[in-house]
Structure 1
């Protein structure tokens, strides 16, 4: 490790730059930073000091670029000789450092980090390490003082290793990156239906069989029998971690200030267990269900025995038990479950699940641990000490916090990193959804609807990486980063200190850092992204164009022609009051570096007209009755409040209130088979003068394959052979796949 060189010979090495020129692009952004003047060199001969309190974490200094060889001197009493150098010292009362704060000072005396705890010192050390990594020369540091503390105590990242097994080497790398960005909890999802990944001495069959399956890819396994096999069979795919390996990872993470929380799924998502131990299911046979039999006392014996070994490996105060998505239908017909329900006076299967959760909670509390579960554990009641992870939006978290439970916010719409991060049509297959970086960054873990006195129960936020569609660790990296950096700042930096534009600017420096760390991160796209705002009073569209680049260079046309580098450069939002087609693309010099983005603007007859529903929407109301004639198209996600969802046939009609000339009728639909969203089988258009007697004017039949997993949009448009006069226009779209039909606008000319 090099040592800080103090510039006292100013005549020989003049300061030519200001502090602002060297503003560090740290992520997460410190909450308070003060700049000094000048730059400091780090040579080899200045000592490193640490008090006994911090000697254990002082080894992290070896992660500073080029500083891996200096001995650390233990300081029992701070004296004059310790006034220069690199120093890790405890805070004193005069420092006015709060319990979770650290203070990093770089000045003419060297580098000084002060804190009240090892956890806070680790945060200070990683600020220093990141600062060095971001410099052009890591030996040259700007003078500054940072006094900083986290907004939230829980700053988490999750990883599912059940769907796809991940090697230990990658798990350590994952933890390395987490530590650099000040995460402090790694939620390790080690059991689920796709594979049991932790050796349990009392139940060796769990890893002898349930850790191995017939297909490498989760999707292939899911669609082809979902069978488990013995290791050594030709098609066996999977793996598991020994207890020694798990302990090694726990210890490794602890040195970096990260606690590993294990998740052992119960009572659902346990197909792999019940394939090996079918007597613990209601059916009593393998491959029949994924939920434990709650009425069987052996279920609790098994789970407690497993947890005993888990607790012995993982010192985490928290133990995660899942508790989500249990299919309760087997319990309704199981004599054992129904007998228990009667014995305990339980009124529903929700209360039966609650009984099981409470049994495990009480057991964990008896061992000095605390239960965490997904928000379904609220169903039927919850014991006092349990902590809730809110994933189905924020409502579960609001409810739990209002009841006095601690909450970790992890809503799918903002923090499920298995969602697409850019246009799904350009990406490897994912589970669905659309979660770009700016949407992640926009999240505030304290819900606006939560009463202020309950906000103390929001411990922080966590992003989840479910790996159904991430078969390799490189793919995990691609989905996690840089979105995890946005979450790092959400969890650490005070809300009032956060700015998307500032974060995006600082992020540019971290792409280089991620490259140095050999992270297969998602590269910012040149693709043009459009945002259209329809102004109903003016019947005009305002179109904004951007890309994920810091300084996009976009050219566009409004006449439907293909843009080139001589087309109109985009500088300000485009306002149009007529139907038009904008085409835009990004360029580097004269080279086009993105596909052409086509934006259709329709100022059509049906805008503002009343829509009547013969079959109602379900689950996705969007803007309710205003959705289909509000002049606004939906975006890449059916969660954007513009796509209206139907699970039956769509059957709506528009009332013009007087007869109008009708030339064409269209509706735009979305298809993405993964989450069950399909184009209609056919779309029929009918018109009427009186709203009772309709005449059909056209049919569009869909021949699109439902096997293609790629997101698609299609406007089904009926163009009348001859214009017709009518007051009412009806559209019927069939739903033969019995999934969701999503549509955003009835377009009538």
Structure 2
């Protein structure tokens, strides 16, 4: 019997010693750590692993143990202490968010100054683990990491006023951004289209302001506009908000609530008409845009907003309250005898001064509650409130101005941080507001404007990605638009800029996307999507290049208009373009097509590839294709103006000069303009064309419709140089979206035939 027991014990020992251990994940951490050194060996995580640490770090230890049990079926903290994970406080670490992670064969040691730093160490450690587990031991690569963030403010935003999302989804959103080491959730709670936060003193906000009668169907620019006829709305109770705030705090996310003022307030005025300048009854807005209904700066309004703030500050323990301050039309104020008298009484310059008075007064009250305000960059107009932090969205200008005045600033420019823009040129992309912001451009973002000195740069707190939900009705659509662009921004904000490498990031992103899949996150996967570019080779011949973001797939293409298949041409080098051609291409793995079809028709007109100059540069947000996009033979999308073929100019007259190299016969000049008035975009009323030294000819433009075609028919005109002058439409009429501002001009391909 003793011999039998000995034999069984020996057999069990042999089995344990010879069983196969899964290979560890090779480190592909996002955001990229500041310092990382991979060493030999693996740490074996199992039920026999003992987890211990300082009491101050217990919330992080509990979080990590819960993650292991829930996701990997590992229940550590065994008394056997075969291996150990030790969390410890290191007082020599200066930054609250810094951590040191050391993994050896027998121990994982996490050192930090605070629980926040330990939490970020855990997020890196989790990325060294599989997403699921069926074994008793998990191998973790031995390494050493020393890491801390570049920027103190790392934010993601979500608009729940246009479309509302469940408490469970808000928690899921917080989970994902926390895993990326974001530390701020900007929660946009009030708008013209809905008020989403329970304010007990004002029940009509829940009864009236939280609901709209119907919602716009399709895009704002669709004509005629259509509506679904269905009542829509809801709000978060104060108990639900407390639950979400607590959930976020356990993941070291601070929530900044946004209560819009003085503009974007039509829903509140619908509930309480006395808050407006006329006292007339209005409805909660049913479509998107900027509305004239704004708070009147009366004592009634200030009392209402102060009461609202009283309840808000009790719900959100963080440092900031966001007060909006953007897109405030002054029409009601200009027509209000009360407002005009107030301007005189307070010795204000104009309505912009009145806005500054409004913001400053609310800032003083919010400061008295121990909070500070953040506002969009329009709060600069008329003079900045004393202690305000500026969130610069219309570009970098607001941040530059604010930092030079020694105000804290947060960068969130349209050009790099608006995740409601299209992220792909594919015609099958889901409906978006417009614009074009691919992953690579987000990754290229530098939150420190070049115009700032080293000293002024200290006022840049960080940056934020914005998710506006006019065209996002479902959680799945929010996830599709936010990720992976929010992943790229996370690395911009955390990692050292000198370590950034887009090719390396894409390789790490492939692994991170598996983690998103395991969490059932509906991310957009454009890494295999094919893009094309027309250029000239060393012999000055036109060539069309194809590429995709990853190198582990094969690109196949056709030139005859047919869809590519596994038997189509394999792309190995740029394609010669000698005539008008339709190219279709896609990525393949074996016989399987793994991307959407890229399609471009190259119209080989007389200006393709020639020299072109512009009197002004396009706006940074709408210059993806550069000036050559106007004569590269490729027309922009019929559905949207944000791809790299349309160029956008904000308020500028534009002169375009095309050099054809030699005297050329010209029978026609064609182009077209986008005319999406709802987004401040207007086709010009006229344009002028000049050939060489001849007098210019002026043509009127009928700017009806969303796409406005222009054609100048000529009779054997001859010229080497063509100069096209396109005057801006001018100031948008009052009462329309953007009324009082200069219009945008969007120009497509200029075809010379």
| TM-based fold match above 0.5 | yes
SS at match of 2:172: helix
1:146-545 to 2 correspondences below 5 Å:
146-215=145-214, 235-287=230-282, 289-294=292-297, 296-423=298-425, 425-524=427-526, 526-533=528-535, 539-545=540-546
Change beyond 3 A, Cα 1:38–1:671 = farther
SS at match of 2:111: strand
In the alignment, is the contact (CA less than 8 A) between 1:42 and 1:139 conserved in 2?
A: yes
Q: Which moved more, 1:190-199 or 1:275-284?
A: 275-284
Change beyond 3 A, Cα 1:356–1:554 = same
Structure 1: distance between partners of 2:614 and 2:242: 62
How far residue 499 of structure 1 moved from its aligned partner, in angstroms, is 0.8
Q: Which moved more, 1:654-663 or 1:47-56?
A: 654-663
How far residue 503 of structure 1 moved from its aligned partner, in angstroms, is 0.7
Change beyond 3 A, Cα 1:604–1:267 = same
In the alignment, is the contact (CA less than 8 A) between 2:159 and 2:188 conserved in 1?
A: yes
Q: Which moved more, 1:243-252 or 1:418-427?
A: 418-427
TM-score normalized by structure 2?
Answer: 0.82
SS at match of 1:519: coil
In the alignment, is the contact (CA less than 8 A) between 1:158 and 1:464 conserved in 2?
A: yes
Structure 1: distance between partners of 2:39 and 2:405: 48
Corresponding residue for residue 569 of structure 1: 570
1:102-181 to 2 correspondences below 5 Å:
102-133=99-130, 139-181=138-180
Structure 1: distance between partners of 2:499 and 2:663: 57
Q: Which moved more, 1:444-453 or 1:368-377?
A: 444-453
In the alignment, is the contact (CA less than 8 A) between 1:91 and 1:115 conserved in 2?
A: yes
Change beyond 3 A, Cα 1:299–1:416 = same
Structure 2: distance between partners of 1:53 and 1:623: 49
Q: Which moved more, 1:121-130 or 1:254-263?
A: 121-130
How far residue 544 of structure 1 moved from its aligned partner, in angstroms, is 2.8
2:55 aligned with 1:52: yes
In the alignment, is the contact (CA less than 8 A) between 1:530 and 1:599 conserved in 2?
A: no
Give structure 2 stretches of 5+ with no counterpart: 1-12, 284-291, 733-742
Change beyond 3 A, Cα 1:624–1:549 = closer
SS at match of 1:474: helix
How far residue 686 of structure 1 moved from its aligned partner, in angstroms, is 9.0
Corresponding residue for residue 747 of structure 1: 751
How far residue 389 of structure 1 moved from its aligned partner, in angstroms, is 0.6
Structure 1: distance between partners of 2:272 and 2:510: 51
2:602 aligned with 1:600: yes
SS at match of 2:49: coil
SS at match of 1:163: coil
Change beyond 3 A, Cα 1:404–1:648 = closer
How far residue 353 of structure 1 moved from its aligned partner, in angstroms, is 0.5
How far residue 727 of structure 1 moved from its aligned partner, in angstroms, is 8.0
What whole-Å deviation, never above 9, does each CA across 1:634-654 have from its counterpart, x for those lacking one? Answer: 767558596255989999897
Give structure 1 stretches of 5+ with no counterpart: 1-7, 74-80, 229-233, 707-711
Q: Which moved more, 1:723-732 or 1:265-274?
A: 723-732
In the alignment, is the contact (CA less than 8 A) between 1:670 and 1:678 conserved in 2?
A: yes
Choose which of 28, 36, 39 in structure 2 pairs with 1:36.
39
1:546-565 to 2 correspondences below 5 Å:
546-556=547-557, 565=566
What whole-Å deviation, never above 9, does each CA across 1:122-150 have from its counterpart, x for those lacking one? Answer: 11122222322458778221111111111
Structure 2: distance between partners of 1:505 and 1:651: 43
SS at match of 1:468: coil
What whole-Å deviation, never above 9, does each CA across 1:448-477 have from its counterpart, x for those lacking one? Answer: 222121111111111111110111111111
Change beyond 3 A, Cα 1:33–1:274 = same
How far residue 212 of structure 1 moved from its aligned partner, in angstroms, is 1.1
2:666 aligned with 1:662: yes
What whole-Å deviation, never above 9, does each CA across 1:171-205 have from its counterpart, x for those lacking one? Answer: 11111111111111111111111111111111111
SS at match of 1:139: strand
Structure 2: distance between partners of 1:623 and 1:243: 44
How far residue 266 of structure 1 moved from its aligned partner, in angstroms, is 0.3
Corresponding residue for residue 86 of structure 1: 85
How far residue 49 of structure 1 moved from its aligned partner, in angstroms, is 0.9
TM-score normalized by structure 1?
Answer: 0.82
In the alignment, is the contact (CA less than 8 A) between 2:612 and 2:659 conserved in 1?
A: yes
1:590-739 to 2 correspondences below 5 Å:
590=591, 594-600=596-602, 602=604, 604=606, 638=642, 643=647, 645=649, 660-667=664-671, 669=673, 675=679, 691=694, 706=706
